[in-house]
Amino acid sequence: MTTATEVCTRVSIDPRGPRFGGAITTVVLAIALFTMGTAVGTAVLTWQTIVFGLGAFVGLWAQPYGWVFRTFISPRIPVPAALEEAAPPRFAQLVGFCFLAIALAAILLGGTLIATIAVAFALAAAFLNAAFNFCLGCEVFLLFKRLVRSG
Amino acid sequence: MNGIIIVIAILIFATAFGLWYRTNNGRMQTVAIHTAGAAEHGGEILDARTIGVDLGARATLVQFSSAFCQPCRATRQILDEVSGMVDGVVHVDIDAEANLDLVRALDIRRTPTVLVLDKAGRIRGRASGLPRKVDVIAALGDLD
């Protein structure tokens, strides 16, 4: 049995971890949309932005939902059939962070509509990840590269 | 109240998209030999220099991968198994990011994308997303 630390140093992870995180993120972002424009909504959004930031800039081991998965869920379910590389879900955390950073900036500047749209995209991405194992950030990565490095 | 409507709308749209994705992801589209060469995407001929390895005597499985790609590892395993199982089939894994010109020329939009080349190097099959092993084997059978 591999421990969490070993998994982290090999930068391979249980693929069910990010999907579990996606499910929690879906609920958190739904709450953020319900309460958009209130202090609670901004607090919830700030929390999720920090969560994404930890996953993207520090590492998936520092992501709070990943920690919950490793500590409470992983020991109670069978060992995964195969491990996955950590880079794709970490990139997805970065994409999520960018959307929520835009949303927070928009709220501070009074642009609730822009904030709502940005959170809506993040919610759709989190839900697709949890329900269909579809990684939006990973899918647009190559298109993004094709656009950026043109010519 | 608005928030609830927005959330429900997003979940409905995302579910519809997810179901569409699940049905189409990894599906192998084949190009028949009589149209190969004429079709816009499919039918192009790739040579050993372009893909970096000698073409297989029977077929070549060309996989495009990238760093941020969840199903690339599983795709690699499937194609390795098939090329190990069927004589004359070669599997090559190309880093999409390092070959953007080729990626644009072939209109590769996602990773993994798998191209099935016949012995002449013509593109005869194409799948984007994790392909099913039986579909890869079937595409090889269609070449003869």
pLDDT in tens, A122-149: 999 999 999 999 988 888 888 888 888 7
Picking from A85, A89, A124, the nearest residue to B14 by CB comes out as A124
B91-106 residue pLDDT tens = 999 999 999 999 999 9
Q: Which residues in chain B have their CB less than 8 angstroms from residue A85's CB?
A: 70, 73
In chain A, what residues touch B111 (CB-CB under 8 Å)?
138, 141-142
User: Domain for residue B19, yes or no?
Assistant: no
Considering only alpha carbons, which residue of chain B is nearest residue A82?
Answer: B74
CB-CB neighbours of A18 under 10 Å = 29
Q: What is the pLDDT of residue A35?
A: 94
> Would you say residue B127 lies in a domain?
yes
Identify the CATH number of the domain in which residue B59 sits: 3.40.30.10
Domain total for chain B?
Answer: 1
In the prediction, which pLDDT does B43 show? 65
B43, part of any domain:
yes
Q: Is residue B53 part of a domain?
A: yes
Q: Looking at the domain assignment, is residue B5 inside a domain?
A: no
Q: Is B96 on the interface with A (CB under 8 A)?
A: yes
Look at strands A84-85 and B29-30 and give their pairing: unpaired
d(CA A11, CA A82): 13
CA distances from B73 to B51, B99, B103, B112 (A): 19, 19, 19, 9
Instruction: State the best of B4, B10, B97 to mutate against chain A, taking most chain A CBs within 10 Å.
Output: B10
Amino acid at B102: L
Which whole-number Å values give the CA distances from B114 to A86, B48, B60, in the listed order? Answer: 23, 16, 10
Is B22 a domain residue? no
Q: What is the pLDDT, as a whole number, of residue B1?
A: 58
Spell out the residues 6+ positions from residue A63 whose beta carbon is closer than 8 angstroms to its own. Answer: A21, A51, A54, A55, A93
- Tens of pLDDT along chain A (151 residues)? 334 443 334 478 888 999 999 999 999 999 999 999 899 999 999 999 999 999 999 998 899 999 999 999 999 999 888 888 888 889 999 999 999 999 999 999 999 999 999 999 999 999 999 999 998 888 888 888 888 876 4
DSSP chain B: -HHHHHHHHHHHHHHHHHHHHHHHTT--EE--TTTTTTSSSSS-B--HHHHSSPPPSSEEEEEEE-SS-STHHHHHHHHHHHHHHSTTEEEEEEEGGGGHHHHHHTT--SSSEEEEEETT-BEEEEEESS--HHHHHHHHHHT-
The whole-angstrom separation of Cα A138 and Cα A33 is 25
Q: Which domain holds residue A43?
A: 4-148
Tell me how close the Cα of A75 comes to any Cα of chain B, in angstroms: 23
Average pLDDT score over chain A: 88
Q: Examine residue B134 and state whether it is found in any structural domain, yes or no.
A: yes
For chain B, list residues with pLDDT below 50: 39
Number of domains in chain A: 1
Asked if residue B59 is part of any domain, the answer here is: yes
- Torsion sign (Cα): B33, B34, B36, B39: negative
Range of the domain at B74: 27-142
Residues of B whose CB is below 8 A from A137:
68
B70 with A124: Cβ contact below 8 A: no
CA distance B106 to B128: 12
Chain A contact for B40 (CB, 8 A cutoff):
no
